[in-house]
Amino acid sequence: MRAVRYWLLKSEPDVFSFDDLLRAPRRTTVWGGVRNYQARNYLRDELQVGDGVLFYHSSTDPSGVAGVARVVRAGYPDPTQFDADDPGHDAGSKHEAPRWFAVNVRAEQELAELVSLERLRAEPRLAGMGVLRRGNRLSVQPVTPAEWKLVLALGGLS
């Protein structure tokens, strides 16, 4: 049996926020529209049902972890790549050989308080966390079990 893994998924809150996820039908959404090959590989090959997700608000002030979600559907072809009206449309991607993948995530719980990027940086035990690495702009990043537990504690969850 595969152990649960943990991930940080970034979204700009003016595009899709954790509150939007909480209001979504069944508190679930497709996590798609990702157009980076490394992040695509994580979505396609690594994220599995039951994995934990730190929902991170990016490109806002303050940026930070806003809530916790779970993967409820593993990687499958991202439907936006085939939709000519979608900003994520990729005319070069074919149904028989899709280029981009998505997962479904379900909101579990909002953090009691946002764990800001500044707060993450101030915690020495999180120094190796991907989101803190200079130049790391990936919207899908692995998180260690120790990082997961610490971020939840910083956000007021046990």
pLDDT at 136 > cutoff 90: no
What's phi and psi for 119, nearest 5 deg? -70, -40
pLDDT tens digits, one per residue of 143-158: 999 999 999 999 999 7
Confidence of residue 124 (pLDDT cuts 50, 70, 90): very high
DSSP string, 40-106: HHIIIII--TT-EEEEEE-SSSS-EEEEEEEEEEEEEE-GGGG-TTSTT--TT-BTTB---EEEEEE
pLDDT tens digits, one per residue of 29-78: 999 999 999 999 999 999 999 999 999 999 999 999 999 999 999 999 99
Q: Which two tokens stand for residue 94?
A: 């074919």
pLDDT tens digits, one per residue of 76-120: 999 999 999 999 999 999 999 999 999 999 999 999 999 999 999
Q: What is the pLDDT of residue 158?
A: 75
Q: What is the pLDDT of residue 84?
A: 96
List, in order of start, the domains of the chain with CATH numbers. 6-149 (3.10.590.10)
Mean pLDDT of all residues in 2-30 = 97
Q: What is the pLDDT of residue 1?
A: 77
